Structure 1
């Protein structure tokens, strides 16, 4: 390789925000190790020192940091401190994977178009918490997960992709959650890969796929790959 071409490739840099056990983080790490996700994981950040995600990160040599909200005067001050540290690792994308705090408007706007979240419902249905119990109580026959761009309004950003699962007779919130989680992992991996490859980006209040507005969310097929809605039935 000639010197002129020795530094042309820069891996797509991912920072992860997580508050819990880190199963989605583990899925990203596994996909990268298997060669299915062309990214560099440059940091994992949390609001909980005991989050399992931090242990997973450290076990794989990924820098990990927790800040306590109690050490800041308010949410804005906490986010300013946290996101300044995130900015220092120069992420191309921030992935909120089980991050359980509302993010201040200033922080969201600072990373507009570069922050995504995975949410356990078919948005716009059931933003917020307790999505599985709410879906069962409403008599839904279909449920799932969504990956969306983060905007200042809770779980209201443009939806990139969704995975759908049936709601079965006799389902409890726990059984339904388990079925959704099995699809959450490949959904997040595929969504991050398409963003890293430059196929997907936020375009104002919409999502662009290959430079064109996406009329409806991509759908995760049985092959664990994303497909435009018109192709999903044949995946």
Structure 2
């Protein structure tokens, strides 16, 4: 059996506030092979990393992300809701996240680059979810920032919205794409092939309820990584079902478990 991808869901979100720089950095340190995060676009066109449609749950502000300008979002506290230790942590721009992760995603060219040598440089990949609503121009801008950071070949762009998956393919035909699902579609292999995705990432229940679909997708060259795999007692069953990785809030625990298998 091949190695199991360890996907840090919104970063190592069990130990730091989700989708913040501390959580994403903690995911790297905890041994994630993929760092997963969510991107939305502000009213003035700035891609920011936040999950919900509004900022209400994870900041001290309120309002829909796409109705707020970046300067308004930049003033928000995105850490205190999780712990007083993270008071003052903000909602990051996508460019800040790319700057943070780039040294861990690209092999160093010399011993001085990123403080590591080519032999020991960690290599993570990015699992970037674009949240709706998103226009073609917004998707192009998001993908363009990834390309400018030199991370396009280390990134999978995914969405629950097939239209956004198509837009990502239009914006960058060579970028790997993923389709998120709550449950598998009735013709999931055909849907995945029509969209040209490399990953189809459904809920854990979908995987446990239909391992045959997981196998059929694998035969078609489409990997499956279910969300959100926080129950360690289910990890063996999910692996037995043939998944390529697990998306979890408990990155460190998954790294230890995978090493001990």
Higher RCO (Cα < 8 Å, 6 or more apart)? 2
TM over 0.5: no
What TM-score do the two structures reach when normalised by structure 2?
Answer: 0.33
Give the structure with the higher percent strand.
1
Q: TM-score, normalised by structure 1?
A: 0.35
